[in-house]
Amino acid sequence: MVKSYLRYEPAACFGVIVSVESKIAYDSSGKHLLVPALEKIGIWHVRQGLCTKTLTPLPSSNSKAPSNAVTSISSSSSRIASGYAQGTIRIWDSEKGMCETTLNGHKGAVTALRYNKLGSLLASGGKDNDIILWDVVAETGLFRLRGHRDQVTDLVFLDSGNKLVTASKDKFLRAWDLDTQHCMQIISGHHSEIWSIDIDPEEKYLVTGSADPELRFYSINHENKTDMNKELPTENKWEVLKSFGEIQRQSKDRVATVKFNKSGNLLACQVAGKTVEIFRVLDESESKCKAKRRISRKEKKAAKEGREATEKGETDIEAEGGSNLVVTVPDIFKLHQILWAGKKISSISFSPVTSKNSLATLALSLNNNLLEFHAIESSSTTKLSAIEIQGHRADVRSVTLSSDNTLLMSTSHNAIKIWNPTTGSCLHTIDSGYGLCGLFVPGNKYAVVGTKGGTLEIIDIRSGTCVEVVEAHGGSVQSIALIPDGTGFLTGSADHDVKFWEFQIVQKTGEVYKHLTASPGRSLKMNDDVLVVAASPDGKLVAVALSDNTVKVFYMDSLKFFLSLYGHNLPVFCMDISSDGDLLVTGSADKNVRIWGLVFGDIHKSLFAHADSVMGIKFVCNTHYFFSVGKDRLVKYWDADKFELLLTLEGHHAEVWCLAISNRGDFIVTGSHDRSIRRWDRTEEQLFIEEEKEKRLEEMFALETDNAFENKYAIKEELPEEGAVALAGKMTQETLTGTDSIIEALDMANGERKRIAEHEVEKLKGRVSAFRPNILMLGLSPSDYILRALSSVHTNDLEQVLLALPFSDNLELFLYLESWAFIPDKVELVGNVAAIVVRLHHHQLISTVSAKPLVTRLEDSVPPKVKEFKDLIGGNLAAMCHLEQLMSMRLGVVSRDVKTKLWEIRSCNAKRIEAREDTKQEKKRKKKQKKLDGGHVWS
């Protein structure tokens, strides 16, 4: 009989507040902060400091990369867009916490995401150097813009002119016209990679940040059309961005993010260090006054030096404005203050809501798994709060479960945390040294932690405090193991000593309560550094792993030498003894796991376990199954009797340092360099070794086949032309599956139509027999069965699916489109299919005689149906707007349309007042100039 095992699956992940792969972002309300947490997105309530929701993607069947981390985030109203390292984009409903759609288009990580103001379009840039524009409403890609020669780092919409500006590591800015889908302007001048760009809310200025020592500013031209008859010899008539000036930065580090706040009165420049430079954006009157003071100071200085009082270039009359005052970038952007953080800053985000007591609220994500909130005031910055409890500041070095599996202790470089392993909530945080190992004392009221400084820290679990620090070793305490009888424990250190300790209850003078402590007993001197110690469950043997690649086994009662286990080529980092004391399993830096017999010290098997060093290994209680973890980010499940790999668990994004197993074996816990703690639960699903082997072989074969095809037979993609446009989607496993399903449906429908035709012929001949439909078609007609297969294809994949179909099958679909156009729910699908096929196979359609009547009939039937539904939607929108206005009138609330009109009237009045003031100032200047020139006015 074939032996079966129970499968382990990912159950929970906690300990990560914010990861550094992506930038943080506020939602539109300003109440919540969207934070990347490896493959998840945490939605944190700013005031409460709690993670209210977690957006977790479902595991993909064709996902081969375990570390599909979030690399970019953007939000618009109730929608959240997230880009991932595999190139996918997910659109989430923030209220429901569910993924609405998945968009596939990029071949590399998505590095930039941005919604337009209406939230109907989404632009994405990736490591594949491409920019893709997505229609969020239709859930499909519109087109792909190509031209950058390196990774796209940032992008912004110019909504006033329906344009897009993109920045890249190729040191160039590109301005794209989204109507004509071409590159209008290429801006050079940067000496290093451009890392971030942003525009102010009024779209007057665009700022870029790079590794250059200055911030560059560009003025935005909002003229959509230029008079073609008017020749401008000095200006480019298609120029969208015009260089406006630059400001010297205070820091020498490269710029990571430049960001305007929502009101546009502040500009933050975050560098790849610990500082954020905050600039105040002066309004027009303040900037003019500052420019006048600057010119006045220069005039006075020039007068003192005996030169002309008027500085050349500062009083030239502008061609269009007629003003003699030139406002420069330093006159508008004034350094307000510099914000310093305790650690390196990963990203920043301005809150869209401004409080009464401050100019703005700025959220910081630090690279030590920490979130901070600062209030920017008129004279200083104030730290409001921080989110730090739910995670370690550095990697997790050890995890330990209590005997009843209700508590989990993790250690890091400066803190010990006690967790609830079921909910993932942090119960206590205790300041400590660099904890390398730990254990729970029987009774689960105390814990002992061994540190890198050679001390033992006694932790009171109930109060969450360190009650005593014992100087234990002269070197770091590498390992700690409980003696089976529960009276003490033993430690191994880098000072070549193995020490035995006994638990004692003491009461110090002046203290009321008693607490636990440890007193040293026997010691065992070794010749090399002790890396791991383990005690057999029966209490008879002690195994010691040394840095000379060997494992020594001693009798625990007499400490006499028993066995020497050698065979590893590099030091043993972890080991464990089975519950029955028969087997010892060791994991080493040589990537191998060795299974030893403790009776004679013979080696049972050597297994190549991981692609990097094996860092943790544990037996499941009362079995010969064991788990191993390594620096290759994997968790593996083994059978020590059959020497077989049972299961490989993927999920960590960095090296896995430690491992703990519950005493019932129903779940395991792992800690990693990515600061995450993951729990894997045992399920009731059975697994068989042969099936798992077949799955692994199929995956390896598919991967090798794809790589061989790409390397040997695939046409190497040349560099795209300047401003090239391509299809938005990409070929994936889903698109291939969709293509196969449509081809299968067409073949089955054709066979069914032939059977129906033959039945009709037989019926005319008088040979009447009951027609038996094909049971595989689920009782549907051929047309409905094909429509069912076509409707199952995602809108975003429809273009790639039809592209993979042969022309004959696309032509066959045209036979059914005319009848489908009369189905109300399928009008949009019919229009999309017809448009895509005509665009992809235009030349073949016009050269195929049989296709002409099909296209003609579709032209007569589809557009009227589309127009009918467009009119229906337009009428519904108009009715909703009318209802909104009626409700606002009844409630006495000004609607958005009225607000917009009032804002336009106020802005026009303000411009008129400014024009009058400018005219008055011009008259005063001319009178002053007339007096200086002796009564003569120069033209």
Cα–Cα distance, 13 to 55 (Å, whole number):
12
Band (pLDDT 50/70/90 cuts) for residue 904 is: low
Cα–Cα distance, 471 to 349 (Å, whole number):
46
Task: From residue 330, give the alpha-carbon distance in Å to each of 253, 288, 292, 479.
Answer: 21, 11, 12, 60
- Cβ-contact 374, 336 below 8 angstroms: no
SS3 for 792? coil
Share of the chain above pLDDT 90, in %: 54
Helix (H) or strand (E) holding 463: none
Band (pLDDT 50/70/90 cuts) for residue 455 is: very high
Taking alpha carbons only, the member of 375, 391, 394, 427 closest to residue 46 is 375
| pLDDT higher at 336 or 894 | 336
**Is pLDDT at 905 greater than 80 in this prediction?**
no
Task: From residue 453, give the alpha-carbon distance in Å to each of 233, 432, 476, 616, 816.
Answer: 73, 11, 5, 22, 77
Q: Per residue in 209-230, pLDDT tens?
A: 999 999 999 999 876 544 433 4
Share of the chain above pLDDT 70, in %: 87
Q: Per residue in 115-133, pLDDT tens?
A: 998 888 999 999 999 999 9
Mean pLDDT along residues 382-401: 93
pLDDT computed for residue 324 by the predictor? 62
| Averaged pLDDT of the chain | 86
- Cβ-contact 100, 92 below 8 angstroms: yes
How many residues are listed for the chain in this entry?
A: 939
Beta bridge partners of 430: 416
| pLDDT higher at 709 or 426 | 426
**Is pLDDT at 235 greater than 60 in this prediction?**
no
Taking alpha carbons only, the member of 204, 94, 111, 225 closest to residue 166 is 111
SS3 for 785? helix
Band (pLDDT 50/70/90 cuts) for residue 920 is: low
pLDDT computed for residue 888 by the predictor? 79
Mean pLDDT along residues 623-636: 95
**Is pLDDT at 937 greater than 80 in this prediction?**
no
pLDDT computed for residue 509 by the predictor? 62
SS3 for 175? strand
pLDDT computed for residue 933 by the predictor? 57
Amino acid, single-letter form, for residue 286: E
pLDDT computed for residue 738 by the predictor? 86
Residue entry with tokens 């995450």: 676
Mean pLDDT along residues 312-325: 45
Mean pLDDT along residues 288-293: 88
Mean pLDDT along residues 831-854: 85
Band (pLDDT 50/70/90 cuts) for residue 753 is: confident
Whole-structure pTM value: 0.83
Longest CA–CA span in the chain (Å) reads 119
Mean pLDDT along residues 667-681: 96
3-state SS, 189-240, equals CCCCCEEEEEECCCCCEEEEEECCCEEEEEEECCCCCCCCCCCCCCCCCCCC
Band (pLDDT 50/70/90 cuts) for residue 313 is: very low
pLDDT computed for residue 858 by the predictor? 82
pLDDT computed for residue 913 by the predictor? 64
Pairing mode, strands 4-14 and 677-688 = antiparallel
pLDDT computed for residue 257 by the predictor? 95
Q: Per residue in 83-115, pLDDT tens?
A: 999 899 999 998 888 998 999 989 999 999 999
**Is pLDDT at 266 greater than 60 in this prediction?**
yes
| pLDDT higher at 310 or 374 | 374
pLDDT computed for residue 910 by the predictor? 61
Task: From residue 208, give the alpha-carbon distance in Å to each of 189, 198, 211, 543, 890.
Answer: 11, 7, 10, 61, 47
In this structure, the number of other CB atoms found within 10 A of the CB of residue 382 comes to 11
**Is pLDDT at 906 greater than 90 in this prediction?**
no
- Provide the token pair at 202: 């009024």
Cα–Cα distance, 197 to 707 (Å, whole number):
37
Band (pLDDT 50/70/90 cuts) for residue 918 is: low
Band (pLDDT 50/70/90 cuts) for residue 856 is: confident
**Is pLDDT at 172 greater than 50 in this prediction?**
yes
> Which range has the top average pLDDT, 58-62, 86-90, 916-920?
86-90
CB under 8 A, 24+ apart: contacts of 843-850: 844/807, 848/811, 850/811
| pLDDT higher at 32 or 706 | 32
Mean pLDDT along residues 680-692: 92
Cα–Cα distance, 399 to 173 (Å, whole number):
48
pLDDT computed for residue 865 by the predictor? 83
- Provide the token pair at 34: 């969207």
Give Cβ neighbours of residue 624 (< 8 Å, ≥ 6 apart). 578, 583, 639, 640, 641
**Is pLDDT at 783 greater than 70 in this prediction?**
yes
Give Cβ neighbours of residue 388 (< 8 Å, ≥ 6 apart). 17, 369, 370, 371
Band (pLDDT 50/70/90 cuts) for residue 311 is: very low
**Is pLDDT at 766 greater than 90 in this prediction?**
no
Mean pLDDT along residues 870-887: 86
The single-letter DSSP state of residue 293 is: H
pLDDT computed for residue 843 by the predictor? 85
pLDDT computed for residue 29 by the predictor? 87
pLDDT computed for residue 835 by the predictor? 86
Taking alpha carbons only, the member of 665, 659, 541, 543 closest to residue 609 is 659
pLDDT computed for residue 473 by the predictor? 93
pLDDT computed for residue 162 by the predictor? 87
Taking alpha carbons only, the member of 179, 176, 92, 97 closest to residue 139 is 92
pLDDT computed for residue 618 by the predictor? 96
pLDDT computed for residue 938 by the predictor? 41
**Is pLDDT at 598 greater than 50 in this prediction?**
yes
Band (pLDDT 50/70/90 cuts) for residue 842 is: confident
**Is pLDDT at 34 greater than 90 in this prediction?**
yes
